[in-house]
Amino acid sequence: MAQPIGVIDSGVGGLTVARELMRQLPKEKFIYLGDTLRCPYGPREKEQVKDFTWQMVHYLLRRDIKMLVIACNTATAYTLNELQSALSIPVIGVIEPGARAAIKNSRNKRIGVIGTEGTIKSQAYPEALRSIDHSIRVNGLACPPFVPMVENGVLHGPEAERIVASTLEPLKEMNHIDTLILGCTHYPLIRGLVQKEMGSHIQVISSGEETASEASLILAYHNGLAQGDTVPEHEFYTTGDMEKFRLVANSWFEEPIQILKLIELEHFQGSSK
């Protein structure tokens, strides 16, 4: 099927998922929409996150997408079930794939989760983990400084190291976790700093690979995989600073992104009704 796959996020973090999707599904065309103007979503109220998420969804539905990937943990926690019920296309999030990957890697069933305030408050990861194995012990920590840091392109150096170290200190004092879920798609952009701070004995998990695998399986099941040998031309849209977006995107992808446009979302319908 020649229809594109839509990927939405609160900002640039979902590019970590988009890159893995493109790697596993090289024939598919992707349209990425990052709401960088209103990022971060984590501190916002649930209803506002749902409203913003629906605005992005309505924008992408006009592009006749065949699948929607919610590459934002906060939006996944608050809107996944609603979107799956309301839309006629497959909708997948990043929380359940991340939970499965963590359980696969953990040996002592003690798993840590770092994310935005909204994701941690929602208890979406503990619920997803315990729905698979009720004996899993979970420690969550909200990390408010991380998303603004990544959105501003502070991905390494002394300042980034200081922020990561001070933010993660409470988690290091918790129970003896052996696996840590990066419960925000911005966090893989600073994965090296997180790994260094937590120690090499901790398995650090991001959901991109599992999410991409799930997308591939669902498309195959519905006979929706793209055919032919045409190289797809991906499109990227942002609601905020285009140069900051381009800087982060170009540092994350192997080749510079070609199509990047600025859009406004406020006039799009903000709910399913």
User: Looking at residues 219-241, what average pLDDT do you find?
Assistant: 93
Please, where are the H alpha helices in 179-272?
Answer: 191-198, 208-221, 242-252
72 is catalytic: yes
Domain borders along the chain are 5-93+209-262, 95-207
pLDDT band at 5 (very low <50, low <70, confident <90, very high): very high
Nearest-Å Rg of the Cα atoms of the chain is: 18
Question: Per-residue pLDDT for 89 more than 50?
Answer: yes
Residue 74, marked binder? yes
Q: Are 78 and 118 in contact (CB under 8 A)?
A: yes
Question: Per-residue pLDDT for 214 more than 60?
Answer: yes
* pLDDT per residue as tens digits for the range 116-130: 999 999 999 999 999
CATH 3.60.15.10 fits 5-93+209-262, yes or no: no
Per residue, the 3-state secondary structure of 241-261, as one string, reads CHHHHHHHHHHHCCCCCCEEE
pLDDT band at 267 (very low <50, low <70, confident <90, very high): low
**Mean of the per-residue pLDDT values of the chain:** 94
143 is catalytic: no
Residue 156, marked binder? no
Residue 241, marked binder? no
Q: Considering the candidates 31, 68, 72, 113, report the single residue annotated as catalytic.
A: 72
Residue 185, marked binder? yes
Look at residue 254 in the predicted model and tell me its pLDDT.
84
User: Looking at residues 76-83, what average pLDDT do you find?
Assistant: 97
Question: Per-residue pLDDT for 176 more than 60?
Answer: yes
Residue 9, marked binder? yes
pLDDT band at 60 (very low <50, low <70, confident <90, very high): very high
Question: Per-residue pLDDT for 270 more than 60?
Answer: no
User: Looking at residues 44-67, what average pLDDT do you find?
Assistant: 97
Tokens for 135, please give them: 């004996």
Residue 73, marked binder? yes
- Closest alpha carbon to 184 in 104, 101, 74: 74
Q: Helix (H, G, I), strand (E, B), or coil: what is residue 176?
A: coil
User: Looking at residues 42-68, what average pLDDT do you find?
Assistant: 97
Look at residue 273 in the predicted model and tell me its pLDDT.
46
User: Looking at residues 231-256, what average pLDDT do you find?
Assistant: 93
Q: Considering the candidates 7, 184, 190, 193, report the single residue annotated as catalytic.
A: 184
Look at residue 25 in the predicted model and tell me its pLDDT.
96
User: Looking at residues 207-224, what average pLDDT do you find?
Assistant: 94
User: Looking at residues 243-257, what average pLDDT do you find?
Assistant: 91
Look at residue 230 in the predicted model and tell me its pLDDT.
86
Is 95-207 in the same CATH topology as 5-93+209-262?
Answer: yes
- Closest alpha carbon to 27 in 226, 198, 165, 188: 226
Backbone angles phi, psi at 250, to 5 degrees: -70, -25
What is the second-level CATH architecture of the domain 95-207? 3-Layer(aba) Sandwich (3.40)
Q: What percent of the chain has pLDDT over 90?
A: 89
Q: What percent of the chain has pLDDT over 70?
A: 97
